Chain A
Amino acid sequence: MPDEPAPVTLKLKVNGKPCALTVEPRRLLVELLREDLDLTGTHVGCDSSYCGACTVLMNGRAVKSCTMFGVQADGAEIVTVEGLEKDGQLGPIQTAFAEAYGLQCGYCTPGLLLSALQLLGSNPKPQESEIRKAIAGNTCRCTGYQNVLKAIRLAAEHMAKG
């Protein structure tokens, strides 16, 4: 087996906070978030980009952190579920998920919240088909998506009211 490659130093901003880390080059972004930064709200479900439990925002775009290396996020701004609340108050999408019973076990929820955030950021009044497409890469095994769709519609309403 070849020698281990030298660790890599990278800098990124996570939930607005600058961080500098030295990691193995093969460290996945999700491992970096969970293990190095202890941000355990981001989850791993399938290891292969299907389920989206690991979804985070990188420079405003939803990405699957289980299939990205940490080094690919060098210099990036990352938002995880822990970055969605403001001064301890739930953000509008989180509130809508609570009101619409949009979660059960809650394992997929962080990824869904971030996919919804990306959608509503660019499309404040999405059609149902657009919501479905936006969360096509987020598998939920509990809710049958019914209350998730309802929650995202409700979030759009909350955000429209400001």
Chain B
Amino acid sequence: MVKTETEEKNWVGRPVPRKEENRLLRGRGKFADDIKLRNMLYLGFVRSSYAHARIVAVDTSRAQARKGVVSVLTGPEIASETQPFLEIGPEPCAKIKDYPLAVSKIRYQGEPVAAVLAESPALAVDAVELVDVQYEPLDPVVDVEEALKDESVLHEEAATNRVWRGVFEYGNVDQAFAEAAYVVDIDRLHFHRFSSTPLETNVILAQWDGKDERIYYWCNNSFPSFAIQFLAAHLGVPIDRIRVETSDIGGSFGIKITSYPQMAVCALASRKAGGRAVKWVETRSEHMLASAHGNERTFRRTRVALDRQGVITALVSEHLDDCGAYPRYEPLGCVIWSQVFPGVYRFRNARIDFTQAVTNKCPVGPNRGYSRMQHLWFLERVVDICAHQLAIPADEMRLRNYIRREEFPYTTPNGCVYDSGNYAKMLDVAKALIGWEEWKKKQASAREEGRLIGIGIGTTLDSGTNNFGQSQIVNPAAPFSGNSQGANCKLDIYGEVVVAVGSCPQGQGHETTAAQVVADVLNIHPDTVTVRTGFDTERNVHTGFSGTYASQFAVSGLSAVHGAAQKLKHEMTRLAAFALQASSDDLEFGSGSTGPEIRSRSTGASINYWGLSNIVNVNSAVLPPELHDITLNCRYVWRAPFKVPDKEKKYGSLTLTYASQLHIAVVEIEPETFIPRILDYAAVDDCGTRINPPIVEGQVYGATAHGIGAALMERCVYDSLGNMLTSTFSDYTPITAMNMPNVKYGHIETPSPHSYSGAKGMGEGGAAPLHAISAALQDALSARGIVIADSFNNGDSLFRALAEQKSGQGTKPVKVERRS
């Protein structure tokens, strides 16, 4: 019996249980380190203990002589066989020579100098200890402003530590400042360095097989399309000779995008070992020292013009981004922040002078909230600092400055189009969730007791589905623009519905949401849809943008899936019309006694998916010629409707959707220890239509934990010599269940006009907790004249701030000019 279409419509939007759980809960996930290959070797990296040094000599003889050691690779050997990695930026960045092993110089602590190959992981660890490297230490540079003095240059070939500089100017800044009622100067703000530290480290299995001259990878890289483009050029092999497969991935948060240097070493090691498979499993300390960190950014000489009501009319600032020792994915971060140029605010006049430099620290890589969160934190600090200086309540200040509901779609000063949103409503929802008025009363009475309680708001954006044309703002010669995703939807020979996508999810539930989309198109149950996720170059579904990053699957990935499913449905309709001798208008999709089927409303005759597939795949002589184009194997590529931005003006649509988040944190600074404790926490999310609400909610919680951890516990600490002091979890202290508060979750839905389903990409979360917690601490301490100028705050830093203030040693970081 066919169920009516209305009964089973709309799997999208429902809390469908995740398809992934069945294997993950049984311990049957397939993570990269679970894979064993015949006659496999194990790779270990010899890493530098210095942050900046010249390599005088590398003696591998003791290691080579060790039983069980197959070979040792060094930087000069690799440099003689490969091209340096592509640099995305123009000169001076383009002059940098980046090889996966240090050739003559060390530029950060933990940089790989050599790689040993051994018969077991333990023997590889032993052999690493037997490689003798002689160093001549050089002056390390760990601060971006020091680096820009170019007194000690990391990359001599570039002759400067500056990677990129550009001025982003819009509107009429001078006039706005001339007409301002207030001008607020903020000398320095600093966004600290941290990493989302996925629990599974980088893992690579590589085999450069002499039998067919191909390189096989089984790994957990999270943007393989990008990796193979870099690897093919570096290794000098045609890109179709590189096969990359990913399976379950234990978190990435962007960090695993930049594992291509290690992928290169593993392939070269395999070739050197005569094609034996090579496995490298990164240790946690290696991950902390030398995989990738989030961008650190310093905001200098910020000036803000405001009118009499506290409405921001203009902003100028110098932003200095520290990308660590090698640019790698950078300098893309030098433009990606401008996707959210004005944040959630209405100001039209601004000039931001953006510079990026290398320092003797771990290279950065995209990290949850990549490049936008630093800027959004900066804007939220600006708003709060101005509010406090002008004695305007933080909520009122935001309402006066937010982009208004009726202004959407809103074109920002730099040409981005915010699709939809309602920030004032989110504020209402969050205030109701947290009990704003009650907390204000409690705060007032606590203050009388001498307790320091602050209430902070963080409003932020999660921009998703980016226009790679923004790379041309960084480098006019960059051959990238637009965005696309591929998907394939087919009936297999026995009629199974199989969907393949080019994403490599790390917990985002792509198998489930893709099945929901296909189930709606074909009016079948999601359980009857098999989804192949995990990247595989040989599935032939990927485009050059495929991977999982930048909050986009709900839009780009699912649009591709939707397109492929519709294509398949169209073919199935034509085929069923032939098979049932019915007109296509008479056909309905649904499920009958033998599973998914198509039936004729008028005759009641039906054909199931096996029957349809049978005709095409194994019974094709019955097909009339006019149906010969039907394959029931439909690839669809969805392309985002972007244009190439104006490179000169730095103007254009850089992202398709703008999810928004508004968090409120109530924080108390403990009087004895100065440790900030979260007393209450609310998070409101707007990602348009929610494909699977509990999955969205889970992403919100996860991003909230990352943000709270980063705000209060997690940072990459370097000493003045470039020694990393947080190279284990015991030092880095990722947030645990003991530190994570209960989150009061709320949501509103302003559907996106830019996606077929109304969904917006989400998942990065825009680092709302960093904004809200900084704001709450500011609120707690503003009466004492303290400005929260750093995104990381703990008992130690707050104690120092209060002690300096008491002793009168504190500098005046903020000045206000009142012209009225």
* Contact (A105, B200) CB under 8 Å given A39-B27, A45-B284, A85-B26: yes
Dominant secondary structure of chain B at its interface with chain A: loop
With both beta carbons as reference points, the residue of chain A lying nearest to B694 in the complex is identified as A101
Interface assignment of B701: CB less than 8 Å from any CB of chain A: yes
Interface assignment of B61: CB less than 8 Å from any CB of chain A: no
* Contact (A145, B705) CB under 8 Å given A104-B508, A105-B249: yes
Interface assignment of B248: CB less than 8 Å from any CB of chain A: yes
Inter-chain CA distance A132–B735, complex, in Å, is 12
Interface assignment of A149: CB less than 8 Å from any CB of chain B: yes
* Contact (A98, B704) CB under 8 Å given A41-B26, A46-B729, A136-B738: no
Q: For chain B residues 673-706, which have a beta carbon within 8 Å of chain A? A: 694-695, 697-699, 701-706
Interface assignment of A14: CB less than 8 Å from any CB of chain B: no
With both beta carbons as reference points, the residue of chain B lying nearest to A95 in the complex is identified as B25
Chain A residues whose CB sits within 8 angstroms of the CB of B199 once the complex forms: 43, 45-46, 51, 53, 105, 107-108, 139-141
Is the pair B728, A147 in contact by a Cβ cutoff of 8 Å? no
- Return B36 CB to nearest CB of chain A, in Å: 8
Is the pair B284, A43 in contact by a Cβ cutoff of 8 Å? no
Is the pair B20, A106 in contact by a Cβ cutoff of 8 Å? yes
With both beta carbons as reference points, the residue of chain A lying nearest to B683 in the complex is identified as A144
Dominant secondary structure of chain A at its interface with chain B: loop
With both beta carbons as reference points, the residue of chain B lying nearest to A148 in the complex is identified as B737
Is the pair A94, B507 in contact by a Cβ cutoff of 8 Å? no
Is the pair B698, A46 in contact by a Cβ cutoff of 8 Å? no
Is the pair B250, A103 in contact by a Cβ cutoff of 8 Å? no
Is the pair B25, A147 in contact by a Cβ cutoff of 8 Å? no
With both beta carbons as reference points, the residue of chain B lying nearest to A66 in the complex is identified as B284
Chain B residues whose CB sits within 8 angstroms of the CB of A135 once the complex forms: 736-737
Interface assignment of B31: CB less than 8 Å from any CB of chain A: yes
Residue of A42, A98, A107 touching B250 (CB-CB under 8 A): A107
Residue of A24, A136, A139, A140 touching B729 (CB-CB under 8 A): A139
Chain A residues whose CB sits within 8 angstroms of the CB of B698 once the complex forms: 101, 104, 142-143, 146-147
Inter-chain CA distance A95–B759, complex, in Å, is 29
Is the pair A106, B24 in contact by a Cβ cutoff of 8 Å? yes
Q: Size class of A's contact patch?
A: 35 or more
* Contact (A106, B728) CB under 8 Å given A1-B126, A40-B27, A139-B199: no
Residue of B17, B33, B728 touching A98 (CB-CB under 8 A): B17
Is the pair B730, A106 in contact by a Cβ cutoff of 8 Å? no
Interface assignment of A110: CB less than 8 Å from any CB of chain B: yes
What 1/0 flags go to A100-116 for Cβ under 8 Å of B? 01011111111001000
Residue of B17, B31, B743 touching A43 (CB-CB under 8 A): B31
Interface assignment of B253: CB less than 8 Å from any CB of chain A: yes
Chain A residues whose CB sits within 8 angstroms of the CB of B737 once the complex forms: 131-132, 135-136, 138, 145, 148-149
Is the pair A106, B738 in contact by a Cβ cutoff of 8 Å? no
Is the pair B695, A101 in contact by a Cβ cutoff of 8 Å? yes
Inter-chain CA distance A143–B24, complex, in Å, is 15
Is the pair B251, A90 in contact by a Cβ cutoff of 8 Å? no
Inter-chain CA distance A113–B26, complex, in Å, is 10
Inter-chain CA distance A39–B24, complex, in Å, is 13
Is the pair B507, A106 in contact by a Cβ cutoff of 8 Å? yes
Chain A residues whose CB sits within 8 angstroms of the CB of B130 once the complex forms: 1
Chain B residues whose CB sits within 8 angstroms of the CB of A148 once the complex forms: 737
Chain A residues whose CB sits within 8 angstroms of the CB of B819 once the complex forms: none
Chain A residues whose CB sits within 8 angstroms of the CB of B728 once the complex forms: 46, 48, 50
Inter-chain CA distance A97–B285, complex, in Å, is 30
Inter-chain CA distance A41–B199, complex, in Å, is 14
What 1/0 flags go to B13-49 for Cβ under 8 Å of A? 0000110110011111101011000000000000000
Interface assignment of B528: CB less than 8 Å from any CB of chain A: no
Q: Size class of B's contact patch?
A: 35 or more
Chain A residues whose CB sits within 8 angstroms of the CB of B506 once the complex forms: 104-105, 142
Interface hub of B34, B122, B201, B737 (most chain A Cβ within 10 A): B737
Interface assignment of B66: CB less than 8 Å from any CB of chain A: yes
Is the pair B122, A136 in contact by a Cβ cutoff of 8 Å? no
Chain A residues whose CB sits within 8 angstroms of the CB of B28 once the complex forms: 41, 82
With both beta carbons as reference points, the residue of chain B lying nearest to A38 in the complex is identified as B36
* Contact (A101, B18) CB under 8 Å given A45-B284, A106-B250: yes
Residue of A26, A40, A141 touching B706 (CB-CB under 8 A): A141
Q: For chain B residues 226-263, which have a beta carbon within 8 Å of chain A? A: 248-251, 253
Q: For chain B residues 445-477, which have a beta carbon within 8 Å of chain A? A: none
- Return A139 CB to nearest CB of chain B, in Å: 5
Residue of A44, A81, A99, A107 touching B251 (CB-CB under 8 A): A107
Is the pair A97, B734 in contact by a Cβ cutoff of 8 Å? no
With both beta carbons as reference points, the residue of chain A lying nearest to B196 in the complex is identified as A141
Q: For chain B residues 162-214, which have a beta carbon within 8 Å of chain A? A: 196-201
* Contact (A101, B200) CB under 8 Å given A144-B743, A145-B705, A148-B737: no
* Contact (A103, B284) CB under 8 Å given A46-B728, A48-B730, A147-B698: no
- Return A121 CB to nearest CB of chain B, in Å: 18
Is the pair A82, B126 in contact by a Cβ cutoff of 8 Å? no
Is the pair B248, A106 in contact by a Cβ cutoff of 8 Å? yes
Interface assignment of B509: CB less than 8 Å from any CB of chain A: yes
Interface assignment of B283: CB less than 8 Å from any CB of chain A: yes
What 1/0 flags go to A11-52 for Cβ under 8 Å of B? 000000000000010100001001000011111111110110
Inter-chain CA distance A53–B198, complex, in Å, is 12
* Contact (A141, B251) CB under 8 Å given A40-B34, A46-B729: yes
Interface assignment of B740: CB less than 8 Å from any CB of chain A: yes
Is the pair B27, A90 in contact by a Cβ cutoff of 8 Å? no
- Return A29 CB to nearest CB of chain B, in Å: 14
Chain B residues whose CB sits within 8 angstroms of the CB of A81 once the complex forms: 25-27
Interface assignment of A133: CB less than 8 Å from any CB of chain B: yes
Chain A residues whose CB sits within 8 angstroms of the CB of B27 once the complex forms: 39-42, 80-82, 84, 110
Chain A residues whose CB sits within 8 angstroms of the CB of B283 once the complex forms: 47
Inter-chain CA distance A80–B284, complex, in Å, is 22
Q: For chain A residues 57-115, which have a beta carbon within 8 Å of chain B? A: 80-82, 84-85, 90, 94, 97-99, 101, 103-110, 113
Inter-chain CA distance A106–B200, complex, in Å, is 10
Interface hub of B26, B126, B198, B704 (most chain A Cβ within 10 A): B26
- Return A1 CB to nearest CB of chain B, in Å: 7
- Return A111 CB to nearest CB of chain B, in Å: 9
Inter-chain CA distance A104–B24, complex, in Å, is 9
Interface assignment of B742: CB less than 8 Å from any CB of chain A: yes
With both beta carbons as reference points, the residue of chain A lying nearest to B734 in the complex is identified as A139
Is the pair B701, A51 in contact by a Cβ cutoff of 8 Å? no
Chain B residues whose CB sits within 8 angstroms of the CB of A139 once the complex forms: 199, 729, 734, 736
Inter-chain CA distance A139–B745, complex, in Å, is 22
Inter-chain CA distance A84–B27, complex, in Å, is 9
Inter-chain CA distance A161–B33, complex, in Å, is 38
* Contact (A82, B701) CB under 8 Å given A106-B507, A146-B742, A149-B737: no
Is the pair B200, A133 in contact by a Cβ cutoff of 8 Å? no
Residue of B281, B702, B743 touching A141 (CB-CB under 8 A): B702
Chain B residues whose CB sits within 8 angstroms of the CB of A43 once the complex forms: 31, 33, 199-200, 250
- Return A8 CB to nearest CB of chain B, in Å: 14
* Contact (A105, B248) CB under 8 Å given A90-B26, A146-B743: yes
- Return A20 CB to nearest CB of chain B, in Å: 21
Is the pair A143, B25 in contact by a Cβ cutoff of 8 Å? no
* Contact (A50, B249) CB under 8 Å given A82-B27, A141-B199: no
Is the pair A109, B24 in contact by a Cβ cutoff of 8 Å? yes
In the assembled complex, 12 residue pairs joining A and B whose CB atoms fall closer than 8 Å, in A order, are A45-B200, A98-B18, A103-B507, A105-B199, A105-B248, A106-B248, A107-B250, A139-B199, A141-B251, A144-B705, A145-B737, A147-B701
A43-B31, A80-B27, A106-B21 are known; give 14 further A-B pairs, CB within 8 A.
A34-B34, A45-B200, A46-B728, A48-B728, A48-B730, A105-B198, A107-B251, A108-B250, A109-B24, A113-B25, A133-B738, A141-B198, A143-B698, A146-B698
| B residues adjacent to A (C-beta < 8 A) | 17-18, 20-21, 24-29, 31, 33-34, 66, 121-122, 126, 130, 196-201, 248-251, 253, 281, 283-285, 506-509, 694-695, 697-699, 701-706, 728-730, 734, 736-738, 740, 742-743, 745
Closest 3 CB pairs between A and B? A41-B27, A104-B507, A107-B250
